[in-house]
A and B are shown apart, each in its own frame.
Chain A
Amino acid sequence: MRNSLWRTGAVIALSTVTLAACAGQSGKSDTSASSGGGNTIKVGILHSLSGTMAISEVTVRDAELLAIDEINAAGGVLGKKLEPVVEDGASDWPTFAEKATKLIAQDKVATVFGGWTSASRKAMLPVFEKRKALLWYPVQYEGLESSPYIFYTGATTNQQIVPGLDYLKEKGKKKLFLVGSDYVFPRTANKIIKAYAAANGMEVLGEEYTPLGHTEYSTLVNKITEAKPDAVFNTLNGDSNVAFFKQLKSAGVSAEQMPVMSVSVAEEEVKGIGVDNVAGQLVAWNYYQTTDTPANQKFVAAFKAKYGADKVTSDPMEAGYNAVYLWAEAAKKAGSTDVEAVKKAAGGVSLDRPEGKVTIDGDNQHVYKTARIGVVQPDGQIKEVWNSGEPIKPDPYLKTYSWAGGLV
Chain B
Amino acid sequence: MEGVLNQLPIGLSIGAVLLLIALGLTFTFGQMGVINMAHGEFIMAGAYTAFLLQSVGFLVALPAAFVVAGLMGLVLERTLIRRFYGRPLDTLLLTWGVSLMLQQLARDLFGAPNVQVVSPAWLRGGLGILPYNRLFIMALAVLSVLAIWAYMHRTGQGRRMRAVMQNRRLAATSGIDTGRVDQRTFFIGSGLAGVAGVALTLIGPVGPTLGTYYIVDAFLVVVAGGLGQLRGAVLAAIGLGLLNSYAEFWSDASLAKVIVFVAIIGFLQIRPQGLFFVRSRALT
Q: What is A's interface to B at a CB cutoff of 8 Å? A: 4-5, 8, 11, 15, 19, 50-52, 54-56, 58-59, 182, 208-211, 213-216, 218-220, 222-223, 226, 239-240, 242-243, 246-247, 250-252, 268-269, 271-276
The yes or no answer to B281 lying at the interface (CB within 8 A) is: no
Residues from chain B with Cβ under 8 Å of A239 in the complex = 114, 204-205, 207, 209-210, 213
Contact call B202/A246, Cβ cutoff below 8 A: yes
Instruction: Compute how far the CA of A4 lies from the CA of B80 in the bound complex, rounded to whole angstroms.
Output: 10
Contact call A250/B126, Cβ cutoff below 8 A: yes
The yes or no answer to B157 lying at the interface (CB within 8 A) is: no
The yes or no answer to B83 lying at the interface (CB within 8 A) is: yes
Give the Cβ gap from B205 to chain A, nearest Cβ, in Å.
4
Which of B119, B131, B207 sits near A251, CB closer than 8 Å? B131
Going nearest first, the 10 A-B pairs with the smallest beta carbon separation are A272-B114, A242-B205, A250-B131, A210-B253, A239-B205, A226-B3, A215-B204, A219-B248, A54-B112, A243-B204
Dominant SS among interface residues on chain A = helix
The yes or no answer to B223 lying at the interface (CB within 8 A) is: no
Instruction: Compute how far the CA of A99 lies from the CA of B6 in the bound complex, rounded to whole angstroms.
Output: 49
Contact call B10/A52, Cβ cutoff below 8 A: no
Contact call B113/A222, Cβ cutoff below 8 A: no
The yes or no answer to B118 lying at the interface (CB within 8 A) is: yes
Instruction: Compute how far the CA of A275 lies from the CA of B116 in the bound complex, rounded to whole angstroms.
Output: 8
Contact call B131/A222, Cβ cutoff below 8 A: no
Q: Hey, what's the 0/1 contact readout for B2-15 against A, CB within 8 Å counting as 1?
A: 11001100100110
Q: Hey, what's the 0/1 contact readout for B246-267 against A, CB within 8 Å counting as 1?
A: 0011001110110000000000
The yes or no answer to B185 lying at the interface (CB within 8 A) is: no
Can you list 11 A-B pairs with a CB-CB distance of less than 8 A? A8-B83, A50-B104, A51-B209, A55-B112, A215-B214, A220-B248, A222-B10, A239-B204, A239-B207, A250-B134, A272-B114
Contact call A55/B207, Cβ cutoff below 8 A: yes
The answer to whether A250 and B104 touch (CB under 8 A), given A209-B252, A209-B253, A274-B117, is no
Contact call A219/B245, Cβ cutoff below 8 A: yes
Give the Cβ gap from A209 to chain B, nearest Cβ, in Å.
6
Instruction: Compute how far the CA of A189 lies from the CA of B72 in the bound complex, rounded to whole angstroms.
Output: 44
Instruction: Compute how far the CA of A149 lies from the CA of B203 in the bound complex, rounded to whole angstroms.
Output: 42
Residues from chain A with Cβ under 8 Å of B209 in the complex = 51-52, 55, 213, 239
Residues from chain A with Cβ under 8 Å of B139 in the complex = none
